[in-house]
Chains A and B, each alone.
Chain A
């Protein structure tokens, strides 16, 4: 990642001087990850595409303000997360469910504080051919709070370190760890409920 960071800085510098090709190279390098992050957060392809484009445009407008203290991608992910969370908050206006309320409920669910020792039993390579499973994973993501979804995506999909996630989300590393723990636990519980339905039948989606 270090060589990439140096290379990013060079591209940022060239893009700052108006070289469109340099900015294009940055877009091509990060578009999949930025889009995946936006899709994971908003769970709508069109909205994710618009928000990912918006994030790059905003980054382009602000290139002169980018100090290079953090890496280009953590800066870009911060822009993306902020745009997506703003978008979700606007969309949720009127539903009465506040951001923090949901986060607190998830973290105070009274469940055990230990990691699950039971894998779900999926073969990830085979599972990804299963559209229904992918939809279920997306649905489970959607049931998490934005804060939990964001840490999970930044760690599992984008591969950011705790320190980088703390920069992106503007919180302490301890908070990141705690959120990550709860987010993973919730995801495992939801997927397990789908794989191992309670007596009386499988969940609706799984039964199809």
Chain B
């Protein structure tokens, strides 16, 4: 089914689909019947638009949509950010903590004894006493001898 070419132009005029110059030209050539046709089209538009506007007045979809939206991304990011910060802090504590120096109070002295090198170690214990250990290093051998 092919529509009347004049009607096609009228419809395009009604729908604001003609170029301005073309619309202006057509407007000057309208007959009384054409005007009635345009009026009938406009009437139908007003009825449809008005009916659905009345029916959709005051509709509020946001409340229902909001409930079903996923939680905002900013909140979801909060937990991993805090976790990462805690991990970084823990790593810093491990890396930067002071490393205690060796705490031995052992006194070491070296002596030269005939043909040997002696090392005297004075090792204090928990009770306040001390134990003295002398290590002899004979020149002839690499062995250590405990006295």
Say yes or no: A56-B65 contact (C-beta < 8 A), given A40-B52, A49-B59, A128-B51: yes
Q: Mark A142-162, 1 if CB is under 8 A from B, else 0.
A: 000000000011011100011
- In the assembled complex, A9 has its CB within 8 A of some CB on chain B: no
Are B56 and A115 in contact, CB atoms less than 8 angstroms apart? no
Are A113 and B68 in contact, CB atoms less than 8 angstroms apart? no
B74: contacting residue among A18, A128, A134, CB under 8 A: A18
Q: Mark B101-124, 1 if CB is under 8 A from A, else 0.
A: 000000000000000000000000
**Which A residue's beta carbon lies closest to that of B17?**
A162
Say yes or no: A20-B69 contact (C-beta < 8 A), given A113-B1, A124-B43: yes
Are A181 and B11 in contact, CB atoms less than 8 angstroms apart? yes
State the total of A-B contacts with C-beta under 8 angstroms.
147
Q: Mark A106-127, 1 if CB is under 8 A from B, else 0.
A: 0110000111111110101101
**Which B residue's beta carbon lies closest to that of A155?**
B15
Are A18 and B1 in contact, CB atoms less than 8 angstroms apart? no
A184 cross-chain contacts in B, Cβ below 8 A:
41, 44
A32 cross-chain contacts in B, Cβ below 8 A:
53, 56-57, 59
Are B45 and A35 in contact, CB atoms less than 8 angstroms apart? no
Q: Which of B2-10, B19-27, B136-144 contacts A (4 or more CB under 8 A)?
A: B2-10
A76 cross-chain contacts in B, Cβ below 8 A:
none
Are B54 and A27 in contact, CB atoms less than 8 angstroms apart? no
Q: How many residues of A contact B (CB 8 A)?
A: 58
- In the assembled complex, A72 has its CB within 8 A of some CB on chain B: no
B36 cross-chain contacts in A, Cβ below 8 A:
117-119
**Which B residue's beta carbon lies closest to that of A59?**
B65
Query: Which B53-71 residues sit within 8 Å CB-CB of chain A?
Result: 53-57, 59-62, 64-66, 68-69
B11 cross-chain contacts in A, Cβ below 8 A:
115, 177, 180-181
A122 cross-chain contacts in B, Cβ below 8 A:
43, 47
Cα–Cα, bound, A40→B36 (Å): 27
- In the assembled complex, B73 has its CB within 8 A of some CB on chain A: yes
How many whole Å from A163's CB to the nearest CB in chain B?
Answer: 9
Are B51 and A161 in contact, CB atoms less than 8 angstroms apart? no
B39 cross-chain contacts in A, Cβ below 8 A:
119
Cα–Cα, bound, A17→B33 (Å): 55
Are A188 and B40 in contact, CB atoms less than 8 angstroms apart? yes
**Interface of A, helix, strand, loop or mixed by DSSP:** helix
B60 cross-chain contacts in A, Cβ below 8 A:
31
Query: Which A34-52 residues sit within 8 Å CB-CB of chain B?
Result: 34-36, 39-40, 45, 49, 52
Top 7 A-B pairs, shortest CB-CB distance: A18-B73, A124-B46, A36-B52, A128-B50, A36-B56, A117-B36, A119-B40
Residues on B lying within 8 angstroms of A by beta carbon are: 1-4, 7-8, 10-12, 15-17, 33, 36-37, 39-41, 43-57, 59-62, 64-66, 68-69, 72-74
Q: A114-B3, A184-B41 are in contact. List 20 more A-B contacts (CB 8 A).
A: A27-B61, A27-B62, A31-B59, A31-B61, A36-B55, A45-B55, A49-B61, A57-B65, A57-B68, A108-B1, A113-B4, A113-B7, A118-B40, A120-B44, A127-B47, A127-B50, A128-B50, A178-B1, A178-B3, A188-B40
A-B pairs with beta carbons under 8 Å apart, 13 shown: A20-B66, A20-B72, A36-B56, A39-B52, A53-B64, A113-B3, A117-B33, A119-B40, A124-B47, A125-B50, A134-B54, A137-B51, A157-B48
